[in-house]
Amino acid sequence: MHEVTTELIIDAPAQRVWKVLIDFAAYPAWNPFVRKIEGAPKPGSRLKVVIRPPGGQGMTFKPVVLKADPNRELRWLGHFLLPGIFDGEHCFIIEPVSESRVRFIHSERFNGILVALMRSSLDGGTRAGFEAMNQALKARAETAE
């Protein structure tokens, strides 16, 4: 198992951050890492997610939403090829710090036989992608109405 976790403070209320996070149709306009998501943020639904880590190749996968707790958490589980080869449980957590400020935690827990081979890529490109998305989310949420 290997985990990549990033976080930052966003000067916006949890509701606004959530609204930006689940507006999948707008991702191509602002998100430098998760370039596209199709589907609904509802537990049990399958998404189609396209990511492109900085300096890396794009990848498409079809995770299942595990949790969609409005204004709090969005979590999904995806697999590469078959379960157990390279699985990722991706999580976005919105923790209110005050009425107009949140801590945004963006993480993924990786499991499977290929994880050890991918560790440097996860700590490099994947972490950089998370951080780029976090900054873009922060900018969009802080300027949205």
**How sure is the predictor about 87, in pLDDT bands with cuts at 50, 70 and 90?**
confident
Q: Are 22 and 76 in contact (CB under 8 A)?
A: no
Give me 106's structure tokens. 């963006």
DSSP state of 25: G
* Whole-prediction pTM: 0.91
User: What CATH number matches the domain at 2-143, 3.90.1300.10, 3.90.1150.10, 2.102.10.10, 3.30.530.20?
Assistant: 3.30.530.20
DSSP state of 85: T
Could you count the other beta carbons within 10 Å of the beta carbon of residue 112? 19
- 60-67 — which CB contacts under 8 Å span 24+ positions? 63/88, 63/90, 65/39, 65/40, 65/41, 67/43
- The separation between the first and the last C-alpha atoms of the chain, rounded to the nearest angstrom, is 40
pLDDT tens, position by position, 21-35:
999 999 999 999 999
- Taking residues 109-123, what's their average pLDDT? 71
Task: Write down the mean pLDDT value for the chain.
Answer: 91
pLDDT over 70 (residue 116): no
Predicted local confidence at residue 111, as pLDDT: 77
Predicted local confidence at residue 124, as pLDDT: 67
Could you count the other beta carbons within 10 Å of the beta carbon of residue 44? 9
pLDDT tens, position by position, 34-82:
999 999 999 999 999 999 988 778 889 999 999 999 999 999 999 877 6
Exposed / middle / buried, residue 51 (Cβ in 10 Å: 0-12, 13-18, 19+): buried
Give 19's contacts (C-beta < 8 A, 6+ positions apart). 144
pLDDT over 80 (residue 123): no
- Taking residues 73-98, what's their average pLDDT? 89
Domain boundaries, the chain: 2-143
